Structure 1
Amino acid sequence: MSYQIPCSPVVAETEEKKSRFICWLGPIEDKAAFQCALQSMRAQYPDASHHCTALIIGNPANPDTMQADDDGEPGGSAGRPMLELLLKQEIGNVGAIVTRYFGGTKLGVGGLMRAYRGAVGAALQAAELKTFVPQLQVRVAGSFAQESRLRFLTNQQQGRCEEAEYSDRVSMRLQLPQDCWPALKQQLLAEGFSILDSDL
């Protein structure tokens, strides 16, 4: 299943009752990379009141990792609304860090939720998104006479043949969109190909 991911990091700033909200939003593939981004924001804004975060790794419909942190703000007033907005927009492999400078006026939980959600929304508007299509690799074997047929069927499913090995038969490593694999697998098995291994 494809989903949207950010192309590159963006920073957007919003203001609510003199409190500044600076949102960093960017593509993230693992927790370590997100920690690096957070450390960078803490170093860049060392005197800020809070650095609240939301992280989704993988498909937003069924994430590998999903987390939110309020960093000292009232529970559920910062990280959760940030995370919920990213999920609602169906964006994956994404991290958001909102740095807040307190402006002297308390916003209340409702006001904080709107402000943090708004900061992420402003960054999303500035961000360029692209569609991410999860890929898988599989090795398939068949007779020499079947090689051209295997290449044809793989191309039909938006895949490509990455390498071929020849012995008493031909085996090929294919890469294709995960969504396309069930149909191709059924076709290959029906035509007598062997599935040697796959990511699934």
Structure 2
Amino acid sequence: MNFPVSYRIPYSPVVSETEDKKSRFICWLGPVEDKAAFLQQLDAVRRQYPDASHHCTALVIGNPANPEVMISDDDGEPGGSAGRPMLELLLKQEVGNVGAIVTRYFGGTKLGVGGLMRAYRGAVGAALQEVRLKPFVPVVQVAIRCDFSQESRLRFLIDQAGGRCGEAEYSEAVTIPVELPQDRWGDLRLQLEAEGVSVLEVPAHP
């Protein structure tokens, strides 16, 4: 099954705070590219709020329609009352490459499972209201080899396609590492061929 690549990712992290029956819920929500980076952020939050009751989490890596990584944790709250509703909201809002950490300071009144679900979902919802989201644009990375006389034209076309060039290597020809939106590469390649620009697509450096 093919899943749409159109989804949103956070532009930068935000921290928001909500309250329910004197329990404080502090939500960190921000862009995350892998699980290791998210765990580092969780460690930082734990150090920042060492006396908190719980640090509940949700993480979505990749397309929320079919995530590469999708995890949640209740951190001692009743099972399914915290991490899962946080995760479900991120998926429902079609946000990917995102992590959410909700820190709770217990206010003395138990909320019950239903109340906790609403509170943790609400904490993430408040952060989503504040965070700036941007469309995710998949990119392709290739290296293009051309003659010296074709370099300036190639750079112009790459720029027109919304791509960017890395540092060129010069030998018997010019090899330029290129990164550009995946949906523009096919058209660019056809345009180069139509204009007689002889290019050889070679693997980009890792």
Instruction: Give the TM-score band, short-chain normalised.
Output: 0.7 to 0.9
Distance, in Å, in 2 between the alignment partners of 1:47 and 1:55 is 23
One-letter amino acid of the counterpart of residue 16, structure 1: D
User: Per-residue deviation at 1:93?
Assistant: 2.5
Distance, in Å, in 2 between the alignment partners of 1:185 and 1:198 is 16
User: What's 1:73 paired with?
Assistant: 77
User: What's 1:197 paired with?
Assistant: 203
CA RMSD in angstroms comes to 2.7
User: Per-residue deviation at 1:112?
Assistant: 1.7
Higher strand share: 1
User: Per-residue deviation at 1:97?
Assistant: 0.8
* Contact persistence 2:177–2:204 (CA under 8 A): no
Distance, in Å, in 2 between the alignment partners of 1:167 and 1:48 is 60
Structure 2 residue 134 is the aligned partner of structure 1 residue 135: no
Count of residue correspondences: 200
Which runs of no fewer than 5 residues in structure 2 stay unpaired? none
Residue among 41, 58, 69 paired with 2:62 = 58
Structure 2 residue 44 is the aligned partner of structure 1 residue 40: yes
Distance, in Å, in 2 between the alignment partners of 1:182 and 1:86 is 32
Residue among 177, 182, 185 paired with 1:181 = 185
User: Per-residue deviation at 1:78?
Assistant: 1.0
User: What's 1:91 paired with?
Assistant: 95
Which runs of no fewer than 5 residues in structure 1 stay unpaired? none
User: What's 1:154 paired with?
Assistant: 158
Deviations 1:135-176 (A, max 9, x none): 332111234454344334323321133333344433222121
User: Per-residue deviation at 1:73?
Assistant: 1.8
Q: Identity, % of aligned pairs?
A: 71
Q: Pick closer, same or farther for the CA change 1:164–1:110 going to 2, 3 Å.
A: same
Aligned runs of 1:107-118 on 2, under 5 Å? 107-118=111-122
* Contact persistence 2:85–2:121 (CA under 8 A): yes
Distance, in Å, in 2 between the alignment partners of 1:62 and 1:127 is 23
Of 109-118 and 146-155, deviating more is 146-155
Deviations 1:162-193 (A, max 9, x none): 33334443322212112322333454467552
User: What's 1:124 paired with?
Assistant: 128
Q: Pick closer, same or farther for the CA change 1:171–1:74 going to 2, 3 Å.
A: same
* Contact persistence 2:7–2:63 (CA under 8 A): yes
One-letter amino acid of the counterpart of residue 195, structure 1: E
The secondary structure found in structure 1 opposite 2:57 is strand
One-letter amino acid of the counterpart of residue 47, structure 1: D
* Contact persistence 1:2–1:134 (CA under 8 A): no
Of 148-157 and 109-118, deviating more is 148-157
Q: Pick closer, same or farther for the CA change 1:195–1:58 going to 2, 3 Å.
A: same
Deviations 1:9-66 (A, max 9, x none): 3222212233221211122233233222222322333332221101123343443322
The secondary structure found in structure 2 opposite 1:195 is strand
The secondary structure found in structure 2 opposite 1:92 is coil
Residue among 10, 19, 23 paired with 1:19 = 23
Of 184-193 and 4-13, deviating more is 184-193
